Each structure stands twice: as C-alpha cells, then as structure tokens.
Amino acid sequence: MEIIWYHPSQDPDRWLNGLRQRLPQAQVRQWQVGDKGPADYAIVRSPPAEMLTDRKLRGVFAMGAGVDEILQQLRDNPAMLPETVPLFRLEDTGMARQMQEYATWCVLGWYRRFADYRQQQQQRHWQPLTPPARDRFTVGVLGAGVLGRGVLESLRQWGFPLRSWSRSPKSIDGVETFHGPEQLAAFLSDTQVLIDLLPATPETTNLIDTPLLNQLPRGACFLNLARGAHVVEADLLRALDSGQLAAAALDVYQTEPLPAAHPLWSHPNVMMTPHTAAITLPDEAMDFIASAILTLEQGNMPDGLVDRQRGY
C-alpha cells in the first residue's frame, strides 16, 4: 500500500511518522514536485493538481472538516480527480469539542453581559446588570451536522431554548428543528443568538445578509464558526451599527488574513479570532484516516465520504 501526503505548512515528519506507526504495512511518503510514483491513497491540504492527476487512487483524504477549497480546485480542474475516486473529510477528530468550547464561551458571555461589564470597567462605572430571561434566550444553530449537533449538545446543560436549521429534516433530542428555505424565517424569528455552522456550498454563499439578519429579534448576537463566504460583511456591519445586532463573534472572513484596513478590526461590538475556532489535531486526524484506510482495504466505505454535488 502506497500513501502520499501533502500539506503546505504542517510538519511532515510528525504526520509521516504517525501514519507509519498506525499503518506499518504501508509505504508513506511526502509528495514532492515531480513525484509520479505509485500511490493508492492521498492525504492532502491544498494539493497541487499535479499531485492527484493521472493517478489510480483508491481514496483521497482532506485534512479538515471543510472541503470547499479542494472542491473549488476540482471545479477549476476537473481532470485533477475523477468522480470515481472517493473524497473524504474529517468528521470530528477533536474539532467538535473545540467548537463546543468556543460557542459556549460566547453564548454564556452574551447571556451574562460580560461585554457590558467590560465597558463599565473601562469607564470605572459600578452597576450590576440583569441578564435576559433564560427561557427566552433562544440559541439557534444553522447546520445540524456533527459540529452543529456537538455545539447544541454542549449548550443543553445551560437551560436555554435550542433550535437548529438544516437543509433537510433532522431530529435532535431537546432541540426544536427547522429545515428548508420555507422554515428559515420561523427559525430566525425568536433566535437571540445565531450560530453559523453550515457547510460551504453555492447555496450558503452570501446567505447571511441584510434580509436574513433583519428577521432576527433586534439586539440579537451572531457567531460565525463556519465560513466567511456565508456572510455579506458590509451587511453585517450595517446590522451592528444600527443595533439590529448587539454583537458578533467571528472566526472566519471573506478574505483571510483579514486586510488591515477592514472595519471589522476596530468595531467595538465585534470579537475576532484568526480562523482558530477548531484546528486539525494531528493525532486524532491520523487515527481517523488510518481507520478509514483499513476500512477501504476491507472493501467497506468509511465515514466522511464527500458528496461533491452537495459540497460536503
């Protein structure tokens, strides 16, 4: 079994040694320009087209939960990877827990009004503040996949009303579920905290715009843990300036790194992180990939198979 690996920035030694330990029967190598040698599987992030073109691969593994980048590469260069070669994404591998941590910190911070206290601290003003009614502080999650469900699970213990919206019907214990375009308005109508965990697809590009944000209750909060392409940033800024949104926490942006002159940097009601809400954890990712390869070797299909038409 031959495995080729490529990542533009991560340490190859850690990955190559880890994969060899987990798959001692395999020959694992870092792909380099000009490498035309045999390969059964490829493990990649932002692979050059040359790496995958004209190979008889049995599977390709993207080193992340999102596959919009490699799917865009395939749209630009369809010959890079035939439809017959299965493409897999990381389903969790420790990312769900990181998303849970981030989302819980934001939701509790907004509920307990810690940003208001921070402002009072700067003004040396002593004034206890009353949090909103817990039973009306509804948290809505856009997306009901592994990460969306994980965030909902982590918030259940705090007693907030929870709801989710997804493309197709879902059933989640303790969560009011909505699906399809016809139920989006009802989902948004009472959502005090909107969390975006949708996949990147043509349908979700620029989904979060002025018409959508105006369907939230005035003074709602917004958290984006998914993709910057989902948000029309000018509309988001208008919603913050007008008070339609009270606050936003953003981990992803239309352009990354975010340009230095972008007004999001200095907006008083925006908290930002540099696309670090959930990073790929090498050991967990290698465990998943090694197990998936062994499943394929046994003639079965592992979890994480990407539907290229749906985009995830």
Q: Which residues are catalytic?
A: 227, 275
Q: How far apart are CA 233 and CA 23, in angstroms?
A: 45
Q: What is the DSSP string of 242-281?
A: HTSEEEEEES--SSSSPPTT-GGGG-TTEEE-SS-SS---
Q: How far apart are CA 262 and CA 282, in angstroms?
A: 32
The tokens describing 237, both together, are 């800024």
Of 205, 197, 210, 207, which is closest to residue 251 (Cα–Cα)?
Answer: 197
> Residues 6 or more apart from 259 whose CB is under 8 A from it?
none
Q: How far apart are CA 193 and CA 223, in angstroms?
A: 8
- Please state whether beta strands 193-196 and 220-224 pair in parallel, antiparallel, or not at all (unpaired): parallel
